[in-house]
Amino acid sequence: MKRLLFISLLVISSLPILAQGEIDSETKIIFRNERTIGFSLNSNGFGFGFRYGRFIDGYRKWLLQSDLNLVKHYKEIQSNSIFYNKKFVYGKVNTLLNLRLAVGYQKELYSKNDKGGVAIRYFGFVGPTLAILKPMFYEVTYYMDENKVEDFVTFFEKNQQYHAGDIIGKSSFFDGAENTTIKPGIHLSGGLSFEYGTKDAFINALELGIAFDVFADDIPIMYSANNNYQQIFTTLFLTYRFGKVINARAINTDSRD
């Protein structure tokens, strides 16, 4: 989270430099729909998503968005196997993928009037979210009737000592995929968008914001002996978004001479 906050402050501090530019005398796109792709660095993982924006007027848009995020627990620590050169997270019971579908609203606060300037907008989203929980399997080695056996077990099985042996490492991501469960919830998010660049027909933007995912059931990522699992996830995010304008309506700004 500290790294994300540092990057966010660095981005904000550089905006005055980005905002300097020549007066734009080219045809300017005012009413525009848009399609974009975003890649996010989150305080608890990372993700990517798609967005469609439909203009209401020259300053406001309705937004539709879907994104998929890999969510990590703050207690996840990489460990090395004692006898094998493999890494694993001891105590992890599920890999969490968070799928969001949301409708949103965006309004422009400051327009991009100069070439190379920055347009600042705020946005908000609400919609359903799905927690996709895929059980984490470990590769273990143990002895049975004096014979060495290699097997794959979940952390629950390992913790309950169905097998008494050493963990070799994590198994393939696809092991246990048939036991994947899905838990529904609701998603709320909001933030600021800083769009920069010299071409109105193309979109390059950085977004800073906060998101909340609330689930009715517990979402176990790391093992807890007292079943103390989260139902609410708070995420800070920094997103790089790029795409293009579609169905544009433009005006000519040559009258500034």
DSSP character string of 136-148: -EEEEEEEETTEE
Domains of the chain: 2-256 (2.40.160.20)
pLDDT surpasses 80 at 226: yes
pTM listed for this prediction: 0.80
Confidence of residue 34 (pLDDT cuts 50, 70, 90): very high
The predicted structure's pLDDT at residue 87: 81
CB under 8 Å to 81, separation ≥6 — which residues? 87, 88, 166, 167, 168, 169
- In this structure, the number of other CB atoms found within 10 A of the CB of residue 162 comes to 13
The 10s digit of each residue's pLDDT in 172-193 is 888 888 889 999 999 999 999 9
Only one residue has tokens 């729909």, namely 33
